[in-house]
Chains A and B, each alone.
Chain A
Amino acid sequence: MKGFWAIILKEFSHIRRDPVTIFFTFMVPVIQLTIFGFAIDVTIDNIPLAVLDLDGRQDSRELVNALVNTHAFEVVERPRDAESFRRALTSGRAKVGILIPADYSERLLLREKAEVQVLIDGSDSQVATTALNTVNLLAMQMSVGRARTIGESMQVTAARNERGQASSPIEVRARLLYNPDLESSHFFVPGLIAIILQLVLLFLTSFSIVREREMGTLEQLFVTPVGRMGLLMGKLVPYAMMAFGELLIILVVMQVIFGVPVHGSLGLLLVLSGLYIVTVLGLGLLISTIARTQLEAVQLAFLIMLPSVFLSGFMFPRSEMIAPIRAIGYLLPVTYFVEIVRGVILRGADVVDMVPYILGLAVCCVVILSLSVRRFRKQLD
């Protein structure tokens, strides 16, 4: 134990003089605990719901209100026709669609069975299961309630009701879309594309520049007439190409090993992946303009990676997050790309469906690139 105190005191001197380490030890856990604690809420409510109410009368409104009152759903859209109803689902704006037929009220009045069609996006098995159970349970409750009311008004009781002949007045016909077997791999694997690409690219690009800074080779390059853009593009293009190759490998593995087919257009997927790759390269470049050492680059990359995993919707449904934390997700390009890969691969979404996410990603791309390119100077100060 000789020298124990000497080492301990020395270590604390190091720590005291290194504000970054202090920040990472004390502040980052607090921030992350708060953010992720709010984000990781396993009870699922506020599932985005699209309502196509062809009936529109009191009974159908009651049904919708009852759904909302479960807190499991939140009406995000009330499409007017079948086409926009379908779009609401393929675009991912709504995870559940409820279609109330035009004769819903009549049928109830005539004591015929009223069928309500419920379409559930099966991509996320967690959300889909909750939606399915809630809808079924609600339909049962409403049926029982209605049966009791009618029984009372007719001076009969349900208890001595006939078995087999009667059917519940409201029947929910639920259909799981996109991932009927509710396989969680179908949900996670496409999202993983976004996460893996970001992880690899962020480290590769930021390291490749910061390493040159650490080694002094960047300074040597600054003294040559190499152009700023020449240096920048020369450093980034090889990694963009590697990332694209990596993407192709992941897509093959996804289909062959996990059996997740690409339902939408492969071309669209590749073009948007290209946009994403460029954006993440910019993010890596941004890190390299801030970090002086490879260690700092790792720390900064983690600062981006953690919210990317937890807040982008990759792991936990974003509809569950409280607003300020959901807002953080909007700052991350990966949030938009997770939606894009899931939309195109699982739901067969097309460009029109993806417009908001493509716009979001494009804005991220422009902002990040212009910021990082401006920060990247061919000078030492």
Chain B
Amino acid sequence: MLTAQKQDYALTQELAAKIDLVLASHDYDQTQIVGVLLDVQDLIEQHYIPETIAYYIAEKLDVKISNIYDCITFYSSLSERPRAKYPIQICNSIVCQVNDNQSIFSTFKELLGIDINEVTYDGRFTLESVPCFGACDQAPAVRINGTIYGRLDSHEKIEKLLNKLL
């Protein structure tokens, strides 16, 4: 399946206004870059920070673009590449590993027809292998846009989850 391509993202008046609201909610405080970037990322359907928007934030907050780029590439929760409407984050840590997360990986790959870090053709789903997000008592677990789906220990449970999102 296609891997999402990085394209020049067109910044619209509407989106710029939304970003300005995010900036205002953070008081245009330069120290709150991380929070700003997380909130702006949620405004973008593919859950990433397009380059154009990074420059926009840099100008509005009066911070160096190199600092913004550093933050985007340093923090795992921020992405410079388009992801998907529903990034499916599968825990790869040892606790989920000993609770058969391999089955989750293979089931999702099979059902969606994509590999890790690939995106479905409609941009709806991508698979990401992520470290522990603290749901170890519900291992093996998956996190999608902040919601945790635990004890995914059967094919049926995973199918049901995908159907809910479709």
Indicate, yes or no, whether A interacts with B: no
**A residues with CB within 8 A of B:** none
